[in-house]
Homo-oligomer: A and B are copies of this chain.
Amino acid sequence: MTALNTIPFVSVANMKRLVRDIGLERFLEELAGYIEEDFRNWEGFDKRPRVPAHSPEGVIELMPTSNGELYGCKYVSGYPSNTKVGRQTVTAFGVLSDVASGYPILLTEMTLLTALRTAANSAFAARLLAPKGARTMALIGSGAQCDFQAVAFKALLGIDRLRLYDIDRGAMEKVARNLTPRGFDITLCSSAEEAVQGAEIITTITADIRNATILSDNMIGEGVHINAVGGDSPGKTELQRDILLRSSIFVEYPPQTWIEGEIQQLPEDHPVTQLWQVVRGEAPGRTDARQVTLFDSVGFAVEDFAALRYVRDQLAHAPHFEELDFLVDPEDPRDLFGLLGEGDGVQDNAASLRPAS
Contacts and interface: CB of A to CB of B under 8 A. Distances in A.
B87 A333 contact: yes
Given A48-B51, A91-B104, 4 more contacts: A11-B326, A57-B101, A144-B335, A147-B337
A5 B12 contact: yes
28 contacts: A5-B12, A13-B346, A13-B352, A14-B352, A16-B344, A20-B346, A48-B51, A55-B99, A57-B102, A58-B102, A59-B102, A60-B64, A60-B66, A60-B102, A62-B73, A77-B97, A83-B334, A87-B333, A93-B326, A111-B336, A112-B328, A142-B334, A145-B336, A147-B336, A148-B336, A171-B334, A178-B341, A322-B353
Copy number in the complex reads: 2
B88 A333 contact: yes
Contacts of A13: 325, 346, 349, 352
A316 interface: no
Interface string A341-356: 1001010011111010
A295 interface: no
B64 A352 contact: no
Interface residues of A, number: 87
Given A73-B75, A115-B336, A322 B97 contact: no
Contacts of A19: 340
